[in-house]
Amino acid sequence: MGRARARNDADPPIFSVVASLSAHDRKTVLRILQAAQVAYALARFPKKQVLDGAGDQQRLGESIAATRAAAADLSAALRDRTSVRWSDLIADTADEEAAWWIAKKVVPALFSELRPLVADEPEAAFLPAAPTKPEPRPTRLPRKKPGQKA
């Protein structure tokens, strides 16, 4: 069994941020993340596959439009506390390239910034996990040739 880790002063104060969310903001954050799920999933596929399919293209546009509509209800204070590019999300996605860019750049930022704020909600268990950066691979040392000194 693993041991509980002692809280370090360097740990981010997530619980203070979660507790300070209003009930309206909590519901709005959940609606934003639920609406963005389709765009998040489609962004995992190759660009050509998504943009060439009329159905996928329509679902991407609808997901971004629903996310944009849900984000309009978010309080300005919460928007200011996050590093999400809200102006890019709210921008018009008349063309498919803009919708793809939002799905690839803005939507993952939504999940990484907003999902921890509602992590204690039961509905958040079904949301995609925030993207994580892979750990760097250790570099391999060159092999020694036989007879070579260290």
Quick check: is 81 in a domain?
yes
Quick check: is 54 in a domain?
yes
Quick check: is 12 in a domain?
no
Quick check: is 62 in a domain?
yes
**pLDDT (0 to 100) of residue 150:** 58
Q: Where are the beta strands (DSSP E) in the chain?
A: none
Q: Quick one: how far is CA 52 from the chain centroid?
A: 24
Cα distance between residue 114 and residue 70, in whole Å? 13
Quick check: is 97 in a domain?
yes
Quick check: is 139 in a domain?
no
Quick check: is 2 in a domain?
no
Quick check: is 109 in a domain?
yes
Query: In total, how many domains does the chain have?
Result: 1
Cα distance between residue 21 and residue 29, in whole Å? 10
Cα distance between residue 23 and residue 95, in whole Å? 35
Tens digit of each residue's pLDDT (9 = 90 or more) over 90-140: 877 678 888 899 999 999 989 888 888 888 888 888 888 766 677 777 777
> Does 75 have pLDDT greater than 70?
yes
**Residue 102's domain spans which residues?**
20-126
Tens digit of each residue's pLDDT (9 = 90 or more) over 19-45: 578 889 999 999 999 999 999 999 998
